[in-house]
Amino acid sequence: MAHPSQLGLQDAASPVMEELLHFHDHAMMILFLISIFVLYIIAAMVSTKLTNKFILDSQEIEVVWTVLPAVILILIAMPSLRILYLMDEINDPHLTIKALGHQWYWSYEYTDYEDLAFDAYMIPTQDLNPGQFRLLETDHRVVVPVDSPIRMLISAEDVLHSWAVPALAVKMDAVPGRLNQTALVISRPGIYYGQCSEICGANHSFMPIVVEAVPLQYFESWSSMILQDI
């Protein structure tokens, strides 16, 4: 969960998000070094140390500023491609959940259970309990087990939506008539908040997402209770 005056991304709650945080730090360090180098060159040229004809016409300098950017791009592209393919892998999921975007709420279906499905609406401000977050709480949470591969099937009924939970490194477009899929593994119990990340209409900012990760035995108890209520 983000907090006021926070610097950086949210704390990682999944292995993929941890990889993304490492890649973010890796790319930022490269950008920092490039910025320092460019500032040094500018300062040196202002002081006329690099403005003589020998340096400006040097073939060695031209080779360096051609090869060096290519090396930098490789240093950024290799870990980026690794994480990209890691995010697309879905191997033997333990649970499949279908999220369907509506104007303006989400409906969920646990496809491994016959009748486990519900709609998730945002809780109005006047109905919030103490400690709950305005514009982020829903009347039903997506309860999932920790340390289990989960496949998310995401689509929409009317217009474009986007199912996004930053702490889990999940952001997938919900497109009418198309079924997109993504995978997630939550590494620690907790409550993780997200929102629709596509401008889908007047109430775009009022369709939040709440994912609650619990140990497996609690998830089984929750699913049994929900099925009994249905």
- Contact status, residue 180 vs residue 90, Cβ threshold 8 Å: no
Residue 186 near residue 168 (C-beta atoms within 8 A)? yes
Residues 140 and 223 both lie in one domain? yes
- Each residue's pLDDT tens digit, 129-177: 998 899 999 999 999 999 999 999 999 999 999 999 999 999 999 999 9
Whether residues 66 and 179 share a domain: the answer is no
Question: Model confidence over 100-138: pLDDT tens digits?
Answer: 999 999 999 999 888 899 999 999 999 999 988 999 999
Domain that holds residue 34: 15-88
Is residue 139 within 8 Å of residue 105, measured between CB atoms? no
For residue 193, the tally of other CB atoms under 10 A from its CB is 19
* 23 close to 79: Cβ distance less than 8 angstroms: yes
**Model pLDDT for residues 3-56, shown as the tens digit of each residue:** 777 777 888 899 999 999 999 999 999 999 999 988 987 887 777 655 655 555
Claim to verify: residue 68 and residue 122 sit in the same structural domain = no
Strand pairing class (190-196; 208-214): antiparallel
Same domain, 106 and 217: yes
Q: What's the pTM?
A: 0.84
Q: Is residue 167 a contact partner of residue 175, using CB atoms and an 8 Å limit? A: no
Which among 151, 152, 187, 150 has a CA at the least distance from the CA of 173? 152
> Is the domain of 42 the same as that of 103?
no
Which of 39, 70, 88 marks a domain boundary?
Answer: 88
Structural domains counted in the chain: 2
Question: Do both 128 and 217 map to the same domain?
Answer: yes
Q: What is the CATH number of the domain that holds 175?
A: 2.60.40.420
Same structural domain for residues 214 and 143? yes
Please check whether residues 134 and 80 belong to one and the same domain: no
Provide the mean pLDDT of the chain: 88
Longest dimension (CA), the chain: 84
Sign of CA dihedral 171, 182, 105, 2: negative
Pick the closest to residue 86 from 184, 201, 207, 159 (CA basis). 184
pLDDT of 17:
92
